[in-house]
Amino acid sequence: MKECPVQVRHCDTGTARTSSSIIFIGCFLMACVLTLSIFIMAKFKNLKKDELIEKHFLATSYIILFATTRLIWWCMNITTYEAYSAAGIINKMLNRCAMLFLYLAQSYYSRTWLSLFIILNGQRWNSQLNFVLSIIDVIISILLTVTIICCAIPQEETANFQDYAAEIITIASLLTIILFIIIGAIIIRKVGQFYGPCSRQKRPFIVFTFLLILPSILRVLTLFYDAMTGEKMNSNFFMMFFYLVPDIFPVIVISADQLKQFLEKQKKQEEEYLLETTTKEFEWFV
């Protein structure tokens, strides 16, 4: 097998070192995520549209794109490839596309929680917050898109950038979660001033925030393991802790909350429909 033309830390000449069991688990989990996400999207599509439903719909759309891309990527890892063969380039591009889609899914999901912040602070905050988040999405998406394009450039002058492409992706995801926590702290402080449904959102928000930030921390620690310890991590552990667990964990958290949100929305819309029908029948009778 030929020597990898670009000598970077994460430039592999193949995937033979990765256990077939981990690859099978990755394929199976992504297939399950894809099926569940399509089911959730179909359910949300049947609900009456509002701003919150549209954000959930977008988040689910990006999860479907993520799961599809990652499933193909896991399937490609069954065989070996040279780093800058056509298959090797496609594999790297699919990997970074999947990370981009996962970031966008987390971003739009976080906006469903931040809707509570908008409600408590008025329409002025709505436009300002959406503007800030949109700018952040554009900047990070451009950075991740550049890392995807650079996968197809096997030149020595791009080696340093490609070496840090994974770091850019990981830090971008972590910064998004940190932003989520900062604004979330404001939400928690605000909801503490209210009684009823608002105050009941405090505990689940803290739980979901904690569950979302853990995978990003795990990805960062795994990525910088060799720099911190001076030893290269076993390939199977790297695939598990940098891809498998951090990929599946936030998707499960988001999907579980979306199913909960769907059931609540469906119940509310059924009650509103029943009330509207009853009111019309009463008015006709009178």
Cβ contacts of 250 within 8 Å, gap of 6 or more: 102, 105, 106, 211, 212, 215
Q: With H, G, I as helix, E, B as strand and everything else as coil, classify residue 262.
A: helix
**Would 2 be classed as within a structural domain?**
no
**Would 15 be classed as within a structural domain?**
no
Q: Are 177 and 214 in contact (CB under 8 A)?
A: no
**Would 279 be classed as within a structural domain?**
no
Of the two residues 146 and 195, the one the predictor is more confident about is: 146
**Would 204 be classed as within a structural domain?**
yes
Q: Quick one: pLDDT at residue 221? A: 86
Q: Quick one: pLDDT at residue 23? A: 93
Is the backbone of residue 212 left (phi > 0), alpha (psi -120 to 50) or beta?
alpha
CATH of the domain at 88: 1.20.1070
- Mean pLDDT over 89-110 rounds to 87
**Would 3 be classed as within a structural domain?**
no
Report the first-to-last Cα separation within the chain, whole angstroms.
86
Q: Which domain holds residue 29?
A: 20-257
pLDDT band at 54 (very low <50, low <70, confident <90, very high): confident
Render pLDDT for 59-76 as a digit per residue (tens, 0 to 9). Answer: 999 999 999 999 999 999
Token pair belonging to 197: 């449904």
Query: Of the ranges 9-23, 135-149, 152-166, which is most confident?
Result: 135-149
Least confident of 97-111, 138-152, 188-202, 253-267: 188-202
Least confident of 57-71, 98-112, 236-250, 261-275: 261-275
Percentage of residues in the chain having pLDDT higher than 70: 70
Q: What is the mean pLDDT of the chain?
A: 76
User: Does this model's pTM top 0.85?
Assistant: no
What's the alpha-carbon Rg for the chain, to the nearest Å? Answer: 22
Distance CA 147, CA 111 (A): 25
- Mean pLDDT over 145-158 rounds to 70
Distance CA 81, CA 78 (A): 10
Least confident of 37-46, 154-163, 181-190: 154-163
- Mean pLDDT over 120-147 rounds to 74
pLDDT at 16 over 80: no
Helix extents (H) in 122-244 = 123-150, 159-163, 165-191, 197-200, 202-223, 225-229, 235-238
Of the two residues 209 and 40, the one the predictor is more confident about is: 40
pLDDT at 179 over 80: no
pLDDT at 145 over 60: yes
CA distances from 239 to 85, 133, 188, 242, 247 (A): 21, 31, 36, 6, 11
Cβ contacts of 123 within 8 Å, gap of 6 or more: none
pLDDT at 196 over 70: no
Cβ contacts of 257 within 8 Å, gap of 6 or more: 109, 204, 208
State the total domains in the chain: 1
Percentage of residues in the chain having pLDDT higher than 90: 17
Q: Residue 216's CB: how many other CB atoms inside 10 A?
A: 22
- Mean pLDDT over 225-239 rounds to 86
Cβ contacts of 190 within 8 Å, gap of 6 or more: 117, 120, 121, 198
**Would 274 be classed as within a structural domain?**
no
Q: Quick one: pLDDT at residue 13? A: 41
**Would 243 be classed as within a structural domain?**
yes
